[in-house]
Amino acid sequence: MSSPVVLLVDDEVPFVEALAKRLGKRDLTVMSAFSGNDALEVLAKEPKIDIVILDVKMPGMDGIDTLREIKKAYPLVEVIMLTGHATVETAIDGMKLGAFDYLMKPCEIDKLMHKVKEAKDKKRTHEEKIRQARISEIVTRGRG
């Protein structure tokens, strides 16, 4: 089992750098983006990304808009929303749009790692179901 590939997205550069260092020490492959548009560019170039850790409050394209675009283009990528300005409405919007979960900033690294592992497991399960469906389809076609 490969370790999760994570994309950190936040406009606060020192926060991203510090969190990337901490996650990297825990055997994650970590990439960074400092805006929603940057995140979409990185995702377009890096098909191995499993999980996006996404800040809600960013100038320009905010976290909710970024989440919407990620889920449209990369439906299997799991997104964990992070915010220092949690509102119940934003959390509900994020969950409705397909966010895996929602954590308050600053969040405990162990709690974040637990969420990353859960998100990776969910993604792997979805990918396996798709693989099984394709195999089943090929086998069925082969008999026809």
CA atoms of 116 and 50, how far apart (whole Å): 9
Retrieve residue 82's tokens: 């992070």
CA atoms of 56 and 65, how far apart (whole Å): 9
pLDDT value, residue 21: 96
Instruction: Count how many domains the chain has.
Output: 1
CA atoms of 72 and 62, how far apart (whole Å): 16
Q: Is 10 left (phi over 0), alpha (psi -120 to 50) or beta?
A: beta
Comparing 11 with 106, which gets the higher pLDDT? 11
Retrieve residue 80's tokens: 């964990």
The residue type of 98 is G
Sequence-ordered list of residues with C-beta below 8 angstroms from that of 95, at least 6 positions apart, any chain = 102
Residue 86 has pLDDT above 70, yes or no: no
Q: Is 98 left (phi over 0), alpha (psi -120 to 50) or beta?
A: left
Q: CATH code at 104? A: 3.40.50.2300
Comparing 2 with 42, which gets the higher pLDDT? 42
pLDDT in tens, 8-52: 999 999 999 999 999 999 999 999 999 999 999 999 999 999 999
For the whole prediction, is pTM greater than 0.75?
Answer: yes
Domain of residue 127 covers: 5-142
